[in-house]
Amino acid sequence: MAVVLQNVVFPTNQDPDVLPLYADPETWATVKCMPLRLSDSASIDNVLSRHSARVRPGKRVSYATYFNAFPASYWQRWTVVRDITLNISTSGTGTVIVYRSNSGGQQQRVESRTVKGDGVNNVFQLPLNSFGDGGWYWFDLIAGSSELVLERATWETTAKPVKTGKVSLGMCTFNKAEYCVETLANIAADPALREVVDKILLVDQGTAKVKDRPEFPQIAAELGDQLRVIHQGNLGGSGGYSRAMAETLQLADTDFLLLLDDDIEFETESAIRALQFGRFSSNPVIVGGHMFDLYDKPVLHAWAEHVKPGPFLWGPSFPEQHRHNFKESNLRQTPWMHARLDADYNGWWMSLIPKQVIADIGLSLPVFIKWDDSEYSLRAAEHGYRTVSLPGVALWHMSWLDKDDSQDWQAYFHTRNRIIAGLLHSTQPRGGKLMQNSSRQDIKKLLNMQYYAVQLSINAMRDVLAGPEKLHSTIKTVMPEARALMSEFGETRVWLPDDEDHPVSRGGRSLPIIQDPTWFEEESRPELQYPTGINLALFTAKTVAKQWLREDATDKIPELEYAKRDALWWHIPKHESVIIGSADGRGKMWYRHDRAKFRRMLREIQVLRRQIERNWDTLAKQYREALPHITSVEMWLETFEK
């Protein structure tokens, strides 16, 4: 019996911005090795339904797109599927051409057929035996003298799945009720997804409850006993998702748990694809979904993310992945997307975890937020369970462009949890360059008068040295304590336009950075060039010495005002008092040199860094021995009940 692995789908929300992710009717050229779109043919009017679309007379549309091409290399590498069937139903006259690509992105024609008539079904048998390094399948439609309608298309297999159980959805939220009810409504409206979902576990940790939204009663009635709302104190993402994991272990019909963030827009087809990939995987794997920008919808956050072993720092495996815009370069125009890329971890904005993995390795590390998702995948890999960031599986999530969580209360968790994850999983002696890199980040912040963020980092290192025993007992209090500390640091205040005592710089506002052409920056504004190598070392030494001797500027008028994006870290230290726009655009923040804080924090950073490096092996042993206990269901249940 044939099983649908992937439906060809289209957006039904009348949003033209997402069209490049579903269909590519454009004409492209290459100029200086860069793709150039020569047309603007995409129209939301050509979307007829969730599964059908039309091609205008004489036009050609390619479905070599993120959501509608088939990622053959991933299915060949990780699953038991060895051949697939492409079923295409059309009405009208035209041509269907099936293509494949190799790992370098070269397009290769597989088969072509002429179609004529209403409801004509064409079946293409396609092997999965030559995609070891990469490659996709897709098809194009070319209309004749009249329009050609794609009625439906599916990618199927007759292979037998390894697992057949259902998926439960685990959603964790804190005061994002509006987003949650929209996601629940999308799920309720998709009968195909409802059919494979066992339970929807909504862990509400906020004060603005999802159940209090006016839309909730009707949606809850539609979902019936599939929906289970769980209320608990704010334990962060690690506590919310751990609750969903613990509940999943008690569900007999569930084989997989799909973790979803709260501030998302959900492509429900992606959940079905992730489940099918999990069901057909040769061995249990964590199936991760990609993240698109909710406010710039054709833009992808990253494709496959890694933890670099030297500095033990997360990020895309290479820079070109970061914020790729499919409107500017679609699948056929982006060769690196055709190589199969392996990931170390996937963010928990969307991640499908087999129940077997949860039972084997435990729940999340009790760290509130940050590094819980990456640590979990690293831990899973040590137990033989890999993570696959699967193309074609994605959602839209709020962008981080208008945030800077490295400077707010989350700076504590960035530092503490990165070091803990390194103690647990780094294979480098004394964590490699982790502490050196972390110390450099703190010095950058210190030179930029970000004393609050540096103090949080200092507190984080102290807590790492205290050992793993208090992670559970402090999980509810550590975030409020970090936020309360803001009152001691003047740079955390956001000055709004209507504030009577709003600071004004004597030098006005700095010139904006012009991204293009680059010659403008290089020739006209050399101060914008990033210092590297020996220049970076000299700059840091000179600037640290200067700030060590510099008098306090707490009462000095700001010298200049910068937009947030223009406040380059190597430029701001030239000032004693400066205004910088807040990341969210609400107002301005006033940074002033404080010699006493600078001297104290610089000393403490170095002392704590040396302590952790000197005691690395002892600390690593403590945390690794404690890991099975602090991630156990029993330990987490005690925390849930407190």
Read off the tokens for 143. 């209309």
Distance of CA 72 to the CA centre of its chain: 23
Helix residue ranges per DSSP H, 87-215:
177-188, 191-196
Maximum CA extent, the chain? 84
Amino acid at 508: G
Read off the tokens for 136. 């996709």
3-state secondary structure of 114: strand
Q: Do the beta carbons of residue 180 and residue 171 sit within 8 Å?
A: yes
CA dihedral 447, 450, 453, 455 (to 10 degrees): 70
Residues in Cβ contact with 127 at an 8 Å cutoff, skipping those fewer than 6 apart = 82, 83
Read off the tokens for 97. 């051409």
Dihedral (CA of 341, 347, 352, 358) sign: positive
Backbone angles phi, psi at 104, to 5 degrees: -90, 0
Supply angle C-alpha 116, 120, 122, rounded to 5. 105
3-state secondary structure of 544: helix
| Run of H or E including 168 | strand 166-173
The residue behind tokens 């059919």 is 195
- Rounded CA-CA distance 171/241 in Å is 7
Q: How far is CA 550 from CA 535, 544, 546, 547, 608, in A?
A: 22, 10, 6, 5, 24
Secondary structure of 385-420 as H, E, C letters? CCEEEEEEEEEEECCCCCCCCCCCCCHHHHHHHHHH
Q: Please give the full DSSP string across 60-80, using - where no structure is assigned.
A: EEE--STTTSB-HHHHHHHBS
CA dihedral 423, 425, 429, 434 (to 10 degrees): -70
Residues in Cβ contact with 80 at an 8 Å cutoff, skipping those fewer than 6 apart = 159, 160, 161, 162, 280, 281, 282
Secondary structure of 191-224 as H, E, C letters? HHHHHHEEEEEEEECCCCCHHHCCCHHHHHHHHH
3-state secondary structure of 502: coil
Q: Tell me the CA end-to-end span of the chain in Å, nearest whole number.
A: 50
| Active-site residue list | 373
Read off the tokens for 425. 């999983």
Dihedral (CA of 43, 49, 51, 53) sign: negative
- Rounded CA-CA distance 468/448 in Å is 32
Q: Do the beta carbons of residue 127 and residue 245 sit within 8 Å?
A: no
3-state secondary structure of 578: strand
- Rounded CA-CA distance 229/236 in Å is 17
Dihedral (CA of 453, 459, 465, 468) sign: negative
